[in-house]
Amino acid sequence: MSEALAAALAAEHAAIYAYGPIGVHLDGDAADQARSAEAAHRSRRDSLILLLTGKGGTVPVAAPAYALPFPVTDEASALRLAVEVEERTGAVWRAALPATEGAQRGSALNGLTDAAVRATRWRRAAGVTPATVPFPGRPA
Amino acid sequence: MRTGDTNQKYGTAGRSRRDVVRAAALVALVGTTGSLTGCGLFDGEPDPPPAPDPLAPLIGGALDLAARYEATIAAFPELADRLRPLAEAHRAHAAELARVTRTTLPSATVAPSTSAGDSGAVTAAATLKQLREAEQQGRDAAAKVCTEAPADRAALVGSITAARASHLEVLR
């Protein structure tokens, strides 16, 4: 169980990092959306750190920097990265579902669901259609 | 049940000849089938039906949601581009759930009865509101099944929950 949650924590660290360059290239509603998304990822990160620390297992720390999958230079690439960040985060939370049960299953499900909702929001902002995928988090 | 009554009748005094004949006929009838149960003529109960698969309600829900979208698209073709991917997602969910539960989907669910049945008076906005409510209920139902599901089903039901939640964004 802890391994899957440690992977989720690592993904949340990366997501928080990515929202830095994303936010820089957005304004208006999209910038607000990026801020609230980043706050949501920070909140999940903090819960995971507490949980994993309590278990006494390894608690992944944030890397000083993460390699982005492509350069973020403008609004379009920022939106594209936001979609990708949420898709990746959702996939990691989905992978945690079989490894968890009870309340932790519930928070993994929230992690997946929130990521899927944000991915849909970002796809709509980017004009990507369809804005949804049939099985969020499932490996392609 | 009826054989039980017959049994009681045997205990009562002064039964008529007709009763005896009827009882004998019943016993004969029960005798042919009763031997299949093996244990006792009167306490043998049919085997209980197998418990329904916990995923079964999600299949019905997915087919219902798909049918609602399809009815809405038929009534409001201008919504087709927006809603068709959602209808297709629900169909894909039903197919995957059927595969996992080893069940066969009912063929061709025509006649979507529920939402846009009596269109004309119904506006697109009202229909979208109904769809939102149906998706919310579907999301909550799937979330409950996911938290109780065995490990090998948790990811699939989790994805279905997340998909239903994401549909709400498109219906805003």
Provide ipTM, 2 decimals.
Answer: 0.96
pLDDT at B101 over 90: yes
Min distance A47 CA to chain B CA atoms (Å) = 19
Name the residue with higher pLDDT: B94 or B19.
Answer: B94
Q: Is the pLDDT at B123 greater than 90, yes or no?
A: yes
Contact A132 B85 (CB under 8 A): yes
pLDDT value, residue B43: 62
| B103/B16: higher pLDDT | B103
Domain boundaries, chain B: 2-37, 56-171
Q: Are the CB atoms for B103 and B122 separated by under 8 Å? A: no
Q: How many structural domains comprise chain A?
A: 1
Q: Does A106 map to a domain?
A: yes
Q: Which residues contact A76 (CB under 8 A, 6 or more apart)?
A: A126
For A54-112, write each residue's pLDDT tens digit.
Answer: 998 889 999 999 999 999 999 999 999 999 999 999 999 999 999 999 999 999 999 99
Contacts of residue B143 in chain A, CB cutoff 8 Å?
A: 109, 113
Task: Report the distance separating Cα B55 and Cα B157, nearest Å.
Answer: 9
B61-65, B102-106, B121-125, B138-142: range with lowest mean pLDDT: B121-125
Look up the domain containing A120 and give its range: 2-126
How confident is the model over A3-45, as pLDDT tens digits? 999 999 999 999 999 999 999 999 999 999 999 999 999 999 9
A99/B contact by beta carbon, under 8 A: yes
The interface residues of chain A toward chain B in range 102-131, judged by CB-CB distance below 8 A, are 102, 105-106, 108-109, 112-113, 115-117, 119-121, 124, 129-131
- In this structure, the dihedral spanned by the alpha carbons of residues A26, A133, B58 and B105, taken in order and rounded to 10 degrees, is 160
Q: Are B161 and B101 in contact (CB under 8 A)?
A: no
Which listed CATH number (2.30.30, 1.20.1260, 3.30.70, 1.10.287) goes with B56-171? 1.20.1260
State yes or no: cis peptide before B48, omega within 30 of 0. Answer: no
Predicted confidence (pLDDT) at residue A52 exceeds the cutoff of 90: yes
Q: What is the CATH number of the domain that holds A30?
A: 1.20.1260.10
When the pLDDT of each residue in chain B is averaged and rounded to a whole number, the result is: 80
Q: Would the pLDDT of A119 be above 60?
A: yes
Helix, strand, coil content of chain A in percent (nearest 5): 70, 0, 30
pLDDT at B106: 85
Could you tell me if B140 lies within 8 Å of chain A, comparing CB atoms? no
What is the model's pLDDT at position B50? 81
Query: Any chain A CB within 8 A of the CB of B136?
Result: no
Structural domain contains residue A132: no
Mean pLDDT within B114-133: 78
